[in-house]
Amino acid sequence: MAISFSLEGKRALVTGANTGIGQGIAIALGEAGAEVLCTSHQDSDETVKIIKDAGGKAVSEILDLSNPMNGKTFIEAYDKPIDILVNNAGLIRRDDAVDFSEKDWDDVMDMNVKAVFFTCQGFAKKVLERGGTGKIINIASMLSFQGGIRVPSYTASKSGVAGITKLMCNEWAAKGINVNAIAPGYIATNNTAALRADEKRSAEILGRIPADRWGDPADLGGTAVFLASPAADYINGAILNVDGGWLAR
């Protein structure tokens, strides 16, 4: 049987597709042939233009996941089948654990775990109702495995993403829905701008990465295409590290 990485004829929804990792993944899915529904709390016009300029198909939709039920509501109301869901939108807040606020805890947990779970729930219900198949790709983190510092709610949330990815795999794999996650390493995005601007911290980080560079959002694209494609049909409940070797050291 020929191995296929093609996403022709598939429709993918990517959250947080306006910039960073979400943009890199959306572009890669478009290059692989998927029609990409680029969503964010603001327009994803730049991402859509890049995909269309390369000959792909994409549209921009507003989806604000600060209300964690909005993803489920959006999918339930969408009038076309969605075959691939990438839960990328996320939030990080930094402070010492001894000073961390309840609001910063709740805001991060709501977007990074609650929104992910209920968006997946809405997607799965639609796939099962039409008797189809689907691919879910959640964005986890190295902090799904490590503790980190000064990001208590982010660490808790990304550990939660790893857990619910496995839970949903256990319930849905036999029903034609693959649920997996990608755990990015240190990627050059808005979320890591402060770390990259800190010369001492940036040097410490680079000193541990065997690849000897910060990752680029495009580095996540190939992994997402693989997990969304027929080539990964028997991959279920996996958390794939894309970290330049960080966790190996």
Measured from the Cβ of residue 98, the count of other Cβ atoms closer than 10 Å reads: 6
The one-letter amino acid at 141: S
* Catalytic residue status for 186: no
Which of the following is catalytic: 78, 154, 186, 234? 154
- Sort 4 into a burial class: Cβ within 10 Å, 0-12 / 13-18 / 19+: exposed
Specify burial of residue 212 (Cβ count, 10 A radius: 0-12, 13-18, 19+). Answer: exposed
The answer for residues whose C-beta is within 8 angstroms of residue 195's C-beta and 6 or more apart is: 186, 201, 202, 205
Residue reference for tokens 């208590």: 152
Q: Classify the C-alpha dihedral 93-247-120-6 as positive or negative.
A: positive
Displacement of CA 237 from its chain's centroid (Å): 14
Which residue type is seen at 234?
Y
H or E segment at 74? Answer: helix 70-77
Which of the residues are catalytic? Answer: 154
